Structure 1
Amino acid sequence: MPTTAPLLSLTWTDHLTGRRGFLVVDRLVRGVASGGLRMREGCTLDEVAGLARGMTMKEALHYDPAGRYVPLGGAKGGIDCDPRDPGAYALLVRYLRAMRPYVESCWTTGEDLGLSQDLVDRAAAEAGLVSSVQAVYPLLDDETAARERLADAFALEVDGIGLDELVGGCGVAESVLVALERAGVPHPGTRVAVQGLGTMGGATARFLARAGLTVVAVADIKGTIANPAGLDVESLLTARDAHGTVDRAALRPGDLELPPDAWLSTDAEVLVPAATSYAIDPANQSRVTARWIVEAANMPVLPEAERLLTARGVTVLPDVVVNSCTNAWWWWTLFGDIGPDASEAFAHIRHAMRTLVTTMLTRADADGTTPRTAAHAIAADRLPVIAERFGWYG
């Protein structure tokens, strides 16, 4: 999809700390855009703009003319601060107060890298907002019923983990399974390494392990935990803190503690970068021996690195497809395509992702391109249809 200037791009400077925050609205549909809010040290306006473009595509890729969920435009927010900083929460509240006119009118947001949904919700309430997604309420047929449905869905837990923390990883795992099945590779014996054991990485590891794959390495901020015979994923998930860091006391005999970047060269068929952007660059891509890289994080593989990886036979499944189900699940639930039920949510996600990933890989094969190029082409086909049917400004 060709890069165009975003509809709105702004930089906010905190009057107390001098730290900066950003908001980019790439596109509106019916006057509303969707995209999470991230917090990390070093976050930039260019990064947020790229993520906002990605959200435009994620929304378009899930367009179903028969569905109740109408895709929104794409947007993203970012704050340049370490989420572990003692002043991070107060900074988040001040950012949301500054962004209140946009959240109230056109930007629906939620958790992203560095921030949990609970934290965003608490800060939004303190900033005087009704909800982080209140801009979409005027588009709903029955706002009260929709909000109750979403609240009920967020209250659900599956084996001790909130449904909202599992839906994204379910979509990532399904992407992996479709790619393996198309290549005729059985689930048992297929090894996986995951960078990041937060919301997305942890859920992905759980679903892949339960599908019969062997998770041989996971990485967090302290380092890489590896075991060629397979890690006890459930034990590691139980031993995480709020930032996805594993208590090493939970490791078993045979589990190895390796450097933080060791996940990259793990002897595995599938790599799942599920933490930071720009994790795989032209310098370190040569260490990758996996057959597939599945982008659970946003923008983890730099473009030049992807070109080099593709040239040596590594397939990159792009973030705009792979990690799109956290966002889509919100809207499927809020608009009423699914109810507040875990089984229904997982079934809907699996069907949607199988359809989308299959369409993307089939298009890539037919056009002789990469999956990312195919995904962008599908989005480019759908965006004019959405714009013509619904309009930018409502």
Structure 2
Amino acid sequence: MSKLSYVGDHPDSPWQTYLSQVDRVVPYLGRLGRWAETLKRPKRALIVDVPIQMDDGSVAHFEGYRVQHNLSRGPGKGGVRFHPDVTLEEVMALSAWMTVKCAAVNLPYGGAKGGIRVDPKGLSRGELERMTRRYTSEIGIIIGPQRDIPAPDVNTNGQIMAWMMDTYSMNVGATATGVVTGKPLHLGGSLGRVKATGRGVFVTGREAARRLGLNLEGARVAVQGMGNVGSVAAELFVGAGATLVAVQDHTGSRVAPAGFDMATMMDTLRREGGVAGCPGGEAIDDEAFWDVDCDILIPAALEGQITADRARRIKARLVLEGANGPTLPEADDLLRERNVLVVPDVICNAGGVTVSYFEWVQDFSSFFWSEDEINLRLDKIMVDALKKIWDTADQHGITLRTATFAVACERILIAREERGLYP
């Protein structure tokens, strides 16, 4: 089969990383392997121009994307990121990982993703709102509560989702709360959604540590990316008795062998927007972060962070992928050779989409659950999904990543086969 004409061949690109992961799982798909090419081709990729009037009266144009990778199991589901490095290939890979992620935890969704190539920090609130609303109108031809449901991702939040929901609702002439998830509570959002991804990282990490015989009491944790995912995961691990010994984000890297005070860390993040000014530790070079002596490493920033060189230096016993696609394929192999257990993104950070599913269900019924109910349901889904994946890994002698793909891709391709081809 010919490769897609609009993607490159750089081996470290997110899309090439995803394709490599698919290739590794094909031998475990049996008769369903005949459908494997389906996984390598997004169903639909939309590129849109997003023109807005800036505060100074000029007109600026931004490039936006919405990719629906696979819809065999249900409507598309996936976040929207605003970042200057967003590309079509990146969004394609993220949408594909969403397909796998949703199937891995057995949600009735396909995978989708969106983004705008922009640095939102350079926009005023009014410009950000106008850009969000114009982007929503442009992709409105393919999204909807039963078609494709966006959510927050990098540099987007509940306010962005509120603007998206309102814009879509105005265009269809009726309030459609279910068109996005991650909304503010009073607009149909769900309790527990903000912390759900970080909570999922903790739950899968807790289960993995138990299997490794790693006691969380006193375990040393290093976190790259102290945003919503990394900071929540760090709080939960510290609450379970672990020690946060190293942090890194866009402002710098810090290490504290005796551990950071979590309350001080969270206060610094709220006040200064980064870890650089946090007291109680010392600044280190960003590259030295990967040499820190720790038991658990949580990459929770962007994709492609764990390279082969860094994989050789990592001292952790357990890597929990809070980010999407943080580990390159060659690095994956090296970590396995070094007996470093990796809990892959497509199960580790699936807590966010799971609670997004809860929000979507609650919006349809207009009946909302308590946060305790949300967390109990989330924990059960994550634990049960990880158990099935672990059993598959043990059965075939494969990594948790390949096992997650095996479980998920089987579900996706059975749906593809049973639906058949039309016409």
Would you call these one fold, judging by a TM-score over 0.5? yes
Instruction: Determine whether 1:7 maps to 2:43.
Output: yes
Alignment match, 2:77: 34
Alignment check: 8 A CA contact 1:150 1:333 kept: no
Deviation larger for 84-93 or 319-328: 84-93
Matching of residue 369 in structure 1 with residue 395 in structure 2? no
Tell me the TM-score normalised to structure 1 length: 0.84
Kindly provide the CA deviation profile for residues 253-279 of structure 1, in whole angstroms up to 9, marking residues without a partner as x.
Answer: xx1122334332211011101111111
Residue 356 (structure 2) pairs with residue 330 (structure 1): yes
Aligned counterpart, 1:348: 377
Q: Which residue of 2 aligns with 1:66?
A: none
Partner of 2:294: 268
Decide whether the 8 Å contact of 2:248 with 2:275 is kept in 1.
no
5+ long unaligned stretches in structure 2 = 1-21, 23-35, 52-58
For 1:100, which of 122, 134, 140 is the aligned residue? 140
Provide the rounded CA distance (Å) in 1 between the counterparts of 2:272 and 2:155: 7
Whether 1:116 aligns to 2:157 is yes
Distance of aligned partners of 1:131 and 1:286 in 2 relative to their CA distance in 1, 3 Å threshold: farther
Counterpart code for 2:151: G
Distance 2:374 2:241 in 1: 21
In the TM superposition, residue 186 of structure 1 has moved relative to its aligned partner by: 1.1
Tell me the CA shift for residue 177 of structure 1.
0.8
- The alpha-carbon deviation at position 225 of structure 1 amounts to 2.4
Of 332-341 and 261-270, more deviation after overlay is shown by 332-341
Match of 1:86 among 123, 143, 157: 123
Q: What secondary structure sits across from 1:217 in the alignment? A: strand
SS at match of 2:293: coil
TM-superposed deviation, 1:120: 2.7
Is 2:254–2:276's contact at 8 Å kept on the other side of the alignment? no
Aligned residue pairs total: 367
Are residues 1:380 and 2:423 paired?
A: no
Please list every run of 5 or more consecutive structure 1 residues that lacks an aligned counterpart in the other structure: 64-69, 137-146, 157-162
For residue 88 of structure 2, the aligned residue among 35, 39, 45 is: 45
* Partner residue, 2:303: 277
Which residue matches 2:279? Answer: 251
TM-superposition CA deviations, 1:297-345 (whole Å, max 9, x none): 1111112221222222222211110111111112124325995312222
Output one character per residue of 1:185-207: Cα deviation in whole Å (capped at 9) or x when no partner. Answer: 11112111011111111111111
Residues 102, 150 of structure 1: alpha-carbon distance in 2 compared, 3 angstrom cutoff? farther
What is the percentage of aligned positions where both structures have the same residue? 29
Name the SS for the 1:309 alignment partner.
Answer: helix
1:392 to 1:265, Cα distance in 2 relative to 1, 3 A = farther
RMSD of aligned residue pairs (Cα, Å): 2.9
* Alpha-carbon distance in structure 2 between the residues aligned to 1:343 and 1:366: 35
2: CA distance, partners of 1:187 / 1:297 = 21
Contact 1:149 1:333 in 2 (8 A): no
TM-score, scaled to structure 2 = 0.79
State the alpha-carbon separation in 1 of the partners of residues 318 and 410 from structure 2: 26
Instruction: Quickly say closer, same or farther: Cα 1:314–1:98, change in 2 above 3 A.
Output: same
Q: Give 2:179's aligned residue.
A: 134
- CA gap of 1:103–1:280, structure 2 versus 1, over 3 A, is same
